[in-house]
Amino acid sequence: MRILAVESSAVTASAAILTDDIMTAEYTINYKKTHSQTLLPMIAEIFKMTDTKPDDIDVIAVSVGPGSFTGLRIGVATGKGMALALGKKMAAVPTLDAMAYNLYGTDKLICSVMDARRQHLYNNIYYFDEENSLHKLRQQSLSSYEELTAELNELGKEVIFIGDGVSAAGRFFEEKLTCRYEFAPAHITTQRAASVAFLAKKQAERGELVDAAAVKPDYLRPSQAERELAEKQEAETDA
Amino acid sequence: MEKQEDVLILAIESSCDETAAAVVKNGRVVLSNIINSQIDIHTLYGGVVPEIASRKHIENINPVIELALKDAGVTLDDITAVAVTYGPGLVGALLVGVAEAKAIAFAKNKPLVGVHHIEGHICANYIEHPDLEPPFAALVVSGGHTHLVMVNDYGEYEIVGRTRDDAAGEAFDKVARAVGLGYPGGPKIDRLAKEGNPHAVEFPRAHVEDSPYDFSFSGIKSAVLNYINQCEMKKEQLNKTDLVASFQNAVVDALVSRAMMLVRERNIDKLAIAGGVASNSALRSAIQSACEQNGIKYYSPSPGLCTDNAAMIGSAGYYEYIKGVRHGYDLNAVPNLKLGERV
Ligand SMILES: Nc1ncnc2c1ncn2[C@@H]1O[C@H](COP(=O)(O)OP(=O)(O)OP(=O)(O)O)[C@@H](O)[C@H]1O
Ligand SMILES: [Mg+2]
């Protein structure tokens, strides 16, 4: 089975090809150029370098979020277009789960954090069991710095943070966390398509692949207009 | 001579609140034309909300493209090239169509052609008028643009006049909101105005100093708003029907007079109209009779091809394709792309 995985949920653009158990290629750029300009040329490049033809791909995996709304859509539309053209199934991989996989096998808690602006983080908390299966402690969520810090203090276990939420909230954590913690180093803290591909393989094995038409980003945050409309309607029903 | 192969373009359009795909043969024959409109959702907000439009595009785009292929009775293997709107429009909305089109072109190894949305509106005229060929004059009146254009050749556009402020469609929408007709205002004003007296109120026909071909609609719009205020202050009953008929008449007059000036001064014998406002019945009949009086051949797309659709992108994409225009996998959305500009 050959999986093409794409990841564009934040600043990082990444593409990978996983062939059975071999990571045939991975190309990651963490630079401010827009994903619209980088992502497909990167995919084309790894295909060329590895003599892969689009028809060789069995599954197209995308990191579906949360993350930058536009970034997610570029990756998801790229995946959906390829899946439509090739008549292949897709794997919709939660971004935070894929990030946690960068820390495969650790005995500490893993907290994936993505900067969601306004002092908030998209986040989830994970651990690997004795068989090295990944588990989440709860559903992924959009939390304020305070909320997440309080939750981790409550848990009281040693935690490794992963993701760009650290550059946003690192100072806050340093001041307010009472549990032992560490920030993951640069080579594992960014989103990687290789991790997305690996989780996609697990989904394929469990029979969880989906039709391309049904795949959409998981934003975790309604648009501003929807939020404002909901607030207005709430105010009206309260009155 | 060997028979030329048919060129089939798969066209994708997502610049605003319509997710659309079409298959067009040789630039003129529409094999399918699928439009998924989000208008009901945006009506809740009184106008198009960019983020919501983008979210809907990504949900709808695959079924829309699949239906376009199915309706045309073709597969992607039969397609010659993929054309996509890459500007102007809402950047987040454009990016969905652009990313999708690029991925399809890459996966099937087909040429990719980026298309200018407004050039698409103009090319909508080619679909139902096999005899229309450049050079001709075109009046583009849409939600975001009001241009008087010379189409000198396929894919060669010269902007002769433009609006200095509001676009014609924008003026329709704002006036409709002010009189409480709601969004989208253009079609509602069109319908209501049929019952009204277009000369009940004489609104100013703005001229732009030193630029005889340019338009200005904010003056007309302000005059309408002032008129409404005065009625309220005088506690007079507002005759909405006459008001919108008079407003529409002022806009139509401004549009028709500039267009006729262009064809006269440049000695052009063909005039086409394009864009959402080109479906306005008063504008259509006024232009038609002005053209008849002046011996000019008049062209307009049927109303369904005036508003956003992908068939028009397929037509424009065909002429770009045969001229050799090709875009790379790094094609980006260009929200402010200028008419005639090539990026
Ligand atoms: N019958 C009509 N009379 C007047 N205006 C109309 C009519 N039908 C549609 N419109 C107006 O046309 C506009 C929509 O046209 P169109 O879809 O071409 O615009 P757009 O795609 O939003 O903008 P643009 O093409 O400039 O990017 C709206 O402003 C709408 O009110
Ligand atoms: Mg339009």
**Complex ipTM value:** 0.97
Check if B93 contacts A (Cβ < 8 Å). no
pLDDT at A16: 98
Closest CA to B97 of B64, B123, B72: B64
Shortest Cα–Cα distance, A216 to chain B (Å): 6
Partner residue opposite A229 with nearest CB, options B45, B91, B333: B45
Residue B191 has pLDDT above 80, yes or no: yes
Q: How high is the pLDDT of residue B210?
A: 85
The verdict on B108 and B192 lying in the same domain is no
Domain range spanning residue B112? 8-124+306-323
Which class is domain A2-95+191-222? Answer: alpha beta
If residue A22 lies in a helix (H) or strand (E), which one and from where to where? strand A22-30
Q: Is any ligand 1 atom within 6 A of the Cβ of residue B166?
A: no
Same domain, B72 and B118: yes
Q: Does B214 touch chain A (CB under 8 A)?
A: no
Confidence band of B3 (pLDDT split at 50, 70, 90): low
Quick one: B173 and B39 in the same domain? no
Q: How many angstroms does the Cα of residue B307 sit away from the middle of ligand 1?
A: 6
The Å distance, Cα A200 to ligand 2 centre, comes to 39
The CA B307 to ligand 2 mean position distance, Å, reads 6
CA distances from A169 to A94, A127, A177, B41 (A): 22, 21, 11, 36
Are both B280 and B243 inside the same structural domain? yes
Cβ-based contacts of A31 with chain B (< 8 Å) = none
Both B169 and B109 in one domain: the answer is no
B2 has a pLDDT exceeding 70: no
| Alpha helix (H) residue ranges in chain B | 39-43, 50-72, 91-107, 117-128, 168-178, 185-193, 218-233, 240-265, 281-293, 303-306, 311-323
**pLDDT tens digit string along B218-262?**
999 999 999 999 998 998 888 999 999 999 999 999 999 999 999
Mean pLDDT (chain B) is 95
Residue B17 CB–ligand 1 contact under 6 Å: no
**Mean pLDDT to the nearest integer, B289-318:** 97
pLDDT at B182: 85
Domain identity same for B289 and B145: yes
Report DSSP state, residue B163.
B
Residue B80 within any structural domain of the chain: yes
Q: Is the CB of B80 under 6 A from ligand 1?
A: no
Atom 6 of ligand 1: nearest residue by CA position: B186
Mutate to test the pocket of ligand 1, among B39, B277, B287, B339 (most ligand atoms within 8 A of CB): B277
CATH class of the structural domain A103-183:
alpha beta
* pLDDT at position B206 over 90: no
Is B338 a member of any domain?
no
Token look-up 């000036």 returns B261
* pLDDT for position A19: 98
Residue boundaries of the structural domains of chain A: 2-95+191-222, 103-183
Q: Which of A37, A213, A229 minimises the CB distance to B332?
A: A37
Q: Does any domain span residue B268?
A: yes
For position A32, what pLDDT does the model report?
84
Q: Are residues B237 and B292 in the same domain?
A: yes
pLDDT string in tens for chain A (239-residue length): 999 999 999 999 999 999 999 999 999 999 988 999 999 999 999 999 999 999 999 999 999 999 999 999 999 999 999 999 999 999 999 999 999 999 999 999 999 999 999 999 999 999 999 999 999 999 999 999 999 999 999 999 999 999 999 999 999 999 999 999 999 999 999 999 999 999 999 999 999 999 999 999 999 999 999 999 999 888 888 76
- Tell me if chain B has a CB within 8 Å of the CB of A74: yes
For B126, residues 6+ apart whose C-beta sits below 8 A from its C-beta are B27, B28, B132, B315
B95 and B45 within one domain: yes
Query: What is the Cα–Cα distance from B34 to B56, expressed in whole angstroms?
Result: 15
Query: Which of B51, B92, B100 shows the shortest C-beta gap to A80?
Result: B100
Q: Kindly state whether residue B259 falls inside one of the protein's structural domains.
A: yes
Identical fold between A2-95+191-222 and A103-183: yes
Residue B332 lies in a domain: no
Number of H helices, E strands in chain B: 11, 10
User: Cα A162–A103–A201 angle (5° rounding)?
Assistant: 115
User: Cα torsion for B281, B285, B288, B291, to the nearest 10°?
Assistant: -120
Q: Who wins on pLDDT, A44 or B210?
A: A44
pLDDT for res B285: 97
Containing H/E element for A154?
helix A145-155
Residues B62, A80: C-beta atoms closer than 8 Å: yes
Going by pLDDT thresholds of 50, 70 and 90, the confidence category of residue B1 is: low
Q: Are residues B151 and B271 in the same domain?
A: yes
Residues B140 and B113 in one domain: no
- Residues surrounding ion ligand 2 at CB below 5 Å: B 142, 308
Any ligand 1 atom below 6 A from CB of B38: no
What per-residue confidence (pLDDT) applies to A237? 82
Which whole number is the average pLDDT over B108-137?
98
- Residue to probe by mutation, ligand 1, list B172, B220, B221, B249, most atoms within 8 Å of CB: B172
pLDDT tens for B45-86 read 988 999 999 999 999 999 999 999 999 999 999 999 999 999
Q: B40 in a domain, yes or no?
A: yes
Residue A114 in contact with partner chain B when CB distance is under 8 A:
no
pLDDT of residue B4: 78
Q: How many Cα atoms within 13 Å fall on the side-chain side of residue B158?
A: 12
pTM of the model: 0.96
**What total number of domains does chain B contain?**
2
Atom of ligand 1 nearest to the CA of B168: 29
The answer to whether B76 contacts chain A (CB < 8 Å) is yes
CATH number at residue B65: 3.30.420.40
Per-residue pLDDT band at B331 (split at 50, 70, 90): very high
B211 part of a folded domain = yes
**Alpha-carbon distance B222 to nearest alpha carbon in chain A (angstroms):** 28
Residue B81 lies in a domain: yes
Q: Is A135:A110 a contact under the CB 8 Å cutoff?
A: no
CB-based contact A36 B332, cutoff 8 Å: yes
Q: Is the pLDDT of residue B128 over 90?
A: yes
Nearest CA in chain A to B66: A84
Best of B100, B112, B332, B334 to disrupt the A interface (most A CBs within 10 Å) is: B100
